[in-house]
Amino acid sequence: MGAMKGSSAWGNDRAAAAWQRAVRASDRAARETANAEQHERLFAETGRVFHAAMAERHRAVAERHLTTARLQESYARRVREWAKGHGGGPPATRGSRRPLFMAGVAEACGTPSAALTLVGEDLSQLAVAASDRPSRGAQDLEYVLTAGPGRDAARSRRRVSASGPPIEERWPGYGSGLAALGLSSVVALPLRAAAGCIGTLTVFDPPSALAGSGALDEVAAALTAGVLLGPDADPGLYGGADIRAAVHQAAGALSEQTGRSVGDALALIKARAFALDESPESVALSFLSGKLKFR
């Protein structure tokens, strides 16, 4: 009974916080809409193009806040339902996977599979959050190969998309790996901020109607402004993001052990992960625990 109460309390608290974030985002959208309407009235009265441009800008910001609110509402519903049906214990106990914020992001993109990656100045993955195993596997594959749509989108700061055989032609090894995961198309969108590109949203197998529209770009913009950098910012996506700290720690330890550069050590870990068909984190943790040796 105590475990059940603990689960319920966790779920209720997490859901309540998400609902509050949704309400605040909706309030921001309402203020932006009011500003847009004011400029639209002024444009009608004066004919000044400035007011038309400002109205359009406020409308765009309002839509971004509404998208953020919808993402928060989706997360709140998932957490609440998890708490109702969970057999007891806090988030990661009794074999029940905790609700993931990225599951709602994927839903908004019309697919089960979507991943968000935060990158450094050198485009290396610093953290990753995924909606399901295929999307996480795809991000691990891109991390190991140091090539893929997300990396290209971050570099160019533009949308990158591909489907079918052209994926393998563009990124050798990535396309075949994606197919093995049951995925056949990909759209990667940069997460643009004032300081540059902070990461990418990668969407797998989106419906063609959404893939060719601006809907995915709107989700990426909402994630950036409303979740990662906004007033309610949480780069950890409410516990759903994994920082690749273990991999970099293992690379440093392996560098010390072998006398190679950290870059070479990181390449060895990635190559072993690819050969064993395991995640880089799994290989890194096995090495750090002494279970895995590099010769």
Q: Of 170-179, 207-216, 227-236, which range is least confident?
A: 227-236
Residue 33, in any domain of the structure: yes
Whether 95 is covered by a domain: the verdict is no
Query: Are 94 and 85 contacting, i.e. CB atoms less than 8 angstroms apart?
Result: no
Task: Give mean pLDDT, residues 189-197.
Answer: 88
81 in the same domain as 206: no
- Give the list of residues 6+ apart from residue 109 with CB closer than 8 angstroms, or none: 203, 206, 210, 215, 216, 219
In three-state secondary structure terms, 252 is: helix
Say which CATH number the domain at 227 has.
3.30.450.40
pLDDT at 209: 87
- CA dist 98 → 9, 78, 118, 131, 281 (Å): 14, 9, 22, 11, 20
114 and 236: one domain? yes
252 Cβ partners below 8 Å, 6+ apart?
Answer: 262, 265
Is pLDDT at 92 greater than 50 in this prediction? no
The count of structural domains within the chain is 3
Looking at the structure, do residues 150 and 204 belong to the same domain, yes or no?
Answer: yes
Domain boundary residue, one of 85, 119, 141: 85
Same structural domain, 106 and 81: no
Give percent of the chain above pLDDT 70: 84
pLDDT tens by residue, 93-127: 444 577 899 999 999 999 999 999 988 887 888 88
Q: What is the mean pLDDT of residues 2-18?
A: 69
Band the pLDDT of 81: cuts 50, 70, 90: confident
Enter the tokens of residue 69: 């609110």
Side-chain half-sphere CA neighbours of 147 within 13 A: 11
- Going by pLDDT thresholds of 50, 70 and 90, the confidence category of residue 6 is low
Please tell me which residue, 104 or 236, carries the higher pLDDT value. 104
The more confident residue out of 180 and 120 is 180
Whole-angstrom distance, CA of residue 62 vs CA of residue 37: 11
For 149, the domain range is: 101-243
Which strand (E) or helix (H) includes residue 189?
strand 185-193
Tens digit of pLDDT for each residue in 238-272? 777 777 666 666 667 776 677 777 677 777 777 77
**Encoding tokens for residue 139?**
């991000």
- Co-location of 215 and 283 in the same domain: no
For 220-245, the DSSP string reads HHHIIIIIISSTT--TTTTTT-EETH
Residue in the structure block whose two tokens are 């990668």: 202
Q: What is the DSSP letter of 97?
A: P
**Cα dihedral value 237, 240, 241, 242, nearest 10:** 160
10 shares its domain with 38: yes
Cβ atoms of residues 189 and 95 within 8 Å: no
Q: Which residues contact 110 (CB under 8 A, 6 or more apart)?
A: 206, 207, 210
How is residue 115 written in tokens? Answer: 């991943």
